[in-house]
Amino acid sequence: MSRSFPNGFLWGASTAAHQIEGNNLNNDWWQLEHAAADHGVQFSGDAVDSYHRYQEDMRLLADAGCNAYRFSIEWSRIEPSPGKFSRAELAHYRRMIDTALGLGLTPVVTLHHFTHPIWFGERGAWLGDGAVDAFCRYVEQACTILDGVAWVCTINEPNIVAVNHGQQRRLAEGKEYQFVGALPDAEIGQALIAAHRAAAPLVRAATGAKVGWTVANQALLPAPGCESKHAEVQHIWEDMYLEPARGDDFVGVQSYTSQLVDDNGVVPHPDHPDNTIMGWAYRPDALGIAVRHTRDVVGDVPIVVTENGIATSDDSRRVAYTQGALTALHETISEGADVRGYLHWSLLDNFEWGRWEPTFGLIAVDRETFERRPKPSLRWLGQIAQANALTF
């Protein structure tokens, strides 16, 4: 049985600069890795050296049969000091764009993927005076290298940024860094919404690209009788960030698992042998839940699945999970959802924001030699991309 996807569908994978480049020593996450080492936060170091090996990474993706690559550019490299821009770094990211285009990969460029320059943090980060203006100044410079880029994400997962920065506040107060259970900080969230609303028109005017942002979709479901609490929590977690996307050219859906909401809030993932390395429930159907809810909130705004994947050391399980997720995605398209692409998380096994153990990649990497080892899942996804259809 074959189930086709729309013509021009984007098929590929995603990465984030700090997780793969290595030695981003001028951003807040590098700073956090040192400050929070006693709280179990690991060190990114060389990461997987994709700063120097991006051509090989992109070629492996293209050779497998995929047609799109989502990657981020690193603000702290481009603007290492306030108002001082690195032409060399801008040229580096331009070479990445040209490499993607030359390989037949549609570049999907993210301008902010969790990290910002240390100087921005020292000024109060997103709650500091002039934060939106500072971000827009950087965005204007980034636009000078985006010729030929058709898809631009301003900010990745602002709801998770609001969680992360809330946790940095906790560290500053001498409290433990929480990997589980934290909620987005609404004040930081509002600042991020303002930044997106200011930056998106600048990108659109300067480049003609389709512009949006991506949201971490929780695929939350109400426990019986808990519909009111579910709506409250869903607004805090997602809808506050989906609603500003109603005027955008697209919105990115990023989905991994699903959880219940009861009268006490989000129910932690129960221990189960099927849980992923992240401790998350194995829920390939979450992608369908996430896309349907996003469509309900944003209306007819096109959707791109900008992240979806599983942390597992068993690549056959990765294939099974992705097969389930794509089946659920195809069902939403059959129901009328305007979905334009699927970008798997992640192209590479990488630094998973404080931990090295979770392996999400379609490609394994030897962290000593940096040798790339494509997994069978990469070839499998490429075959689907070539057919532009589910053939299983």
Q: What is the DSSP letter of 269?
A: P
Q: Which helix (H) or strand (E) holds 166?
A: helix 158-172
CA atoms within 13 A on the CB side of 124: 11
Q: Is the dihedral of CA 376, 382, 386, 389 positive or negative?
A: positive
Separation between Cα atoms, residue 382 and residue 384, nearest integer Å: 5
Cβ neighbours around 182 below 10 Å, total:
15
- Indicate the burial class of 220 (C-beta count within 10 angstroms; 0-12, 13-18, 19 or more): buried
Question: CA 109, 110, 112: angle at the middle one, nearest 5?
Answer: 155
Report whether 77 contacts 89 (CB < 8 A). Answer: yes
Separation between Cα atoms, residue 178 and residue 352, nearest integer Å: 15
Give the active site residue among 157, 238, 307, 352.
157
243 is catalytic: no
Listed as own residue / partner, the contacts of 315-320 with beta carbons closer than 8 Å and 24 or more positions apart are 315/375, 315/376, 315/377, 316/376, 318/362, 318/375, 318/377, 319/376, 319/377, 319/380, 320/284
Separation between Cα atoms, residue 352 and residue 349, nearest integer Å: 8
Residues involved in catalysis? 157
